[in-house]
Structure 1
Amino acid sequence: MNGAGEQANQGDSGFEERMRELLAEDAYTIQPSSAPYPAIRRRGLAERRRRVAMTGAALMTLAAVPVGAYAVAGGNVERDADTAASKPSVSAPHSPAGSTAGSTGGSTGGSPSATSAGTAGGPGRPATDGQLLDGITFAQAADGLKECLAAEGGPAGGAGDLGEADDYRIILAIKSTGDSNAPGDGIYVTAVRERPAGRWVICSLKDGVASGISVGAIDAGAPGAGPVTVDGNGEQLYQQSFMDKGRWKLPFRWGVIGAVETSVAKVTVAYGDGGPVAATLDHGWFVAAGLLNQQVTLAPHIKGYDDAGKLVYDSDEDETYARTLP
């Protein structure tokens, strides 16, 4: 009797020991992926800003006509804590505000009207071809936007419904640089929604496949809003992951977008220790881009001017703008 009991106990013990071994093996085999903290943080900031926007006045109505161009202005950056060199990407003639024709300062090189649709059932075109950088064609940007909205948008009519591509107009397409949080290079396609106005999306695509989207809204009536408004949720265009602080991949293509009131005739963006870039003014939005060749610590420095050349906005004096990079 005792012998049989001992054998049973030994059998149970062996079975339990084997189960512990299997569970231990599974514990090493199955590893949960780490939480994408920067993405969660961006989404949280976006949600908070969207709530602020919805409690303010109606979304900013876009201006009727594109003005402005990429160019280089003389002078140095007025801040001393940044060490990166900034280079402009393209140049184009300046169109007067309120014009309904093409640019008056010269040919735009066959640039289509900013209000024209790109393809049937597709998004509208940017004000200038110079807003499509790094060899990205309009067809590629339009296809990428369609892919991104289909992959990242919610069900039609639901809270996550981002609409269709023909609800938008593309204002910027640039190369994206992979980092520790989102490895692999790709492209960013930034588009603004025509109906309702003020909404924007930044689509991230890699090898033609959607890999994420950022969504925001700019409200000119929000507390602290001025003649130039920058939504900080678009920060992915001009910075790499905070996990790579101090060791960004260089050279780095950066971009900045924001909204402008009709009283603003010129916007400049300085990033690093290079001269400021004159942004394109496109239907109530400003768009700027450049290249960094050295690490930076400060966000782009943005200034806005009226027709008389008077400074009407300075991001260094904007309490809602994050001047220092995380």
Structure 2
Amino acid sequence: VSATRAPSPTPSPTPSGPARPATDGQLLDGITFERAADGLEKCLAYQRSGAMAGDTDPGTPEDYGIILAMRSTGDSNTPGDGMYVVAVREKPEEIYLICNIKNGETQGVTGFGNDADAIPDEGPVLIDPNGGKLYQQSFLDRGNWKLPFRWGVIGTVEPSVAKVTVSYGDSSAEAALDHGRFVASGVLNEQVTLAPHVKGYDAGGKLVYDSDEDKYYQRTLP
């Protein structure tokens, strides 16, 4: 009796893609990591397709880590609800991407670098000045925002910061700390005129940052 050795199965390729966020609480509104990763891939393809000669290549999903995914709320300027995906690329220079996706199509991508080096007297918490779209609707709708409104706030923290809290209108949240960044989100159910109020604390519970005292932070919404 003879027998033929069955060929060894070909090992499956190692899954590739962006890094996961530090906490599950950074994936909101039922958005799975797989869906967020697919959204990031669409956004990078959108950037490449519209790139001008000399533009920096945005890279591939493997270059990024997703730090936030949440629903986006349409307004009179950009009607229709969708999804925001926020991702960070560490090298060759730190780049943040905020992607807005609706009905499976990329509506726009905002890319920006870390502004920390441009602020000589930066405090232990830096609210990202480019992330305002995550907590605002169109200024054309001021006083008449579509509610409830899912908001997000992102920024960076120094190692001395152990806790960050954010209050916004009738909502509040404790931020997730993710490799030197903070990510907070909540749901707003009232009209507001003031931007989110951010506080940072050290490991002993001492207040080390208050956005009300930050001369670089715009406390009033446009």
Give TM class, smaller chain.
0.7 to 0.9
Larger RCO (alpha carbons 8 Å, 6+ apart): 1
* Cross-structure match for 1:246: 143
Which of structure 1's runs of 4+ aligned residues deviate more than 3 A?
Answer: 153-158
Number of residue-to-residue matches in the alignment: 207
Normalized per residue, the structure richer in helix is 1
Alpha-carbon shift at residue 195 of structure 1 (Å): 1.5
CA distance in 2, matches of 1:308, 1:282: 20
After superposition, the C-alpha distances for 1:122-151 in whole angstroms (9 at most, x for unaligned) are 111001112111010101000000001111
Question: Does the 8 Å CA contact 2:83/2:101 hold for their aligned counterparts?
Answer: yes
2:103 to 207, 219, 227: 207
| SS at 2:108 equivalent | strand
2:29 to 125, 130, 134: 134
In our comparison, the structure showing a higher alpha carbon Rg is 1
Question: Does the 8 Å CA contact 1:218/1:229 hold for their aligned counterparts?
Answer: no
Question: Does the 8 Å CA contact 1:217/1:231 hold for their aligned counterparts?
Answer: no
* Cross-structure match for 1:324: 220
* Cross-structure match for 1:258: 155
Normalized per residue, the structure richer in strand is 2
- CA 1:282–1:156 in 2, change beyond 3 Å: closer, same or farther? farther
After superposition, the C-alpha distances for 1:71-97 in whole angstroms (9 at most, x for unaligned) are xxxxxxxxxxxxxxxxxxxxxxxxxxx
Question: Does the 8 Å CA contact 2:161/2:200 hold for their aligned counterparts?
Answer: yes
1:147 to 42, 60, 78: 42
CA distance in 2, matches of 1:247, 1:156: 37
Normalising by structure 2, we get a TM-score of 0.88
Question: Does the 8 Å CA contact 2:89/2:95 hold for their aligned counterparts?
Answer: yes
Normalising by structure 1, we get a TM-score of 0.61
Match of 1:269, as an amino acid?
Answer: V
Question: Does the 8 Å CA contact 1:200/1:215 hold for their aligned counterparts?
Answer: yes
1:122 to 17, 23, 45: 17
| SS at 1:170 equivalent | strand
CA distance in 2, matches of 1:219, 1:263: 19
What percent of counterpart residues are identical? 65
* Cross-structure match for 2:130: 233
Alpha-carbon shift at residue 309 of structure 1 (Å): 1.3
Question: Does the 8 Å CA contact 2:170/2:189 hold for their aligned counterparts?
Answer: no
Cα RMSD over matched residues? 1.7
Long gaps (5+) in structure 1: 1-118
Asked if 1:272 is matched to 2:139, the reply is no
Question: Does the 8 Å CA contact 2:170/2:190 hold for their aligned counterparts?
Answer: no
Match of 1:297, as an amino acid?
Answer: T
Alpha-carbon shift at residue 222 of structure 1 (Å): 2.4
* Cross-structure match for 1:158: 54
Question: Does the 8 Å CA contact 2:25/2:176 hold for their aligned counterparts?
Answer: no
| SS at 1:151 equivalent | helix
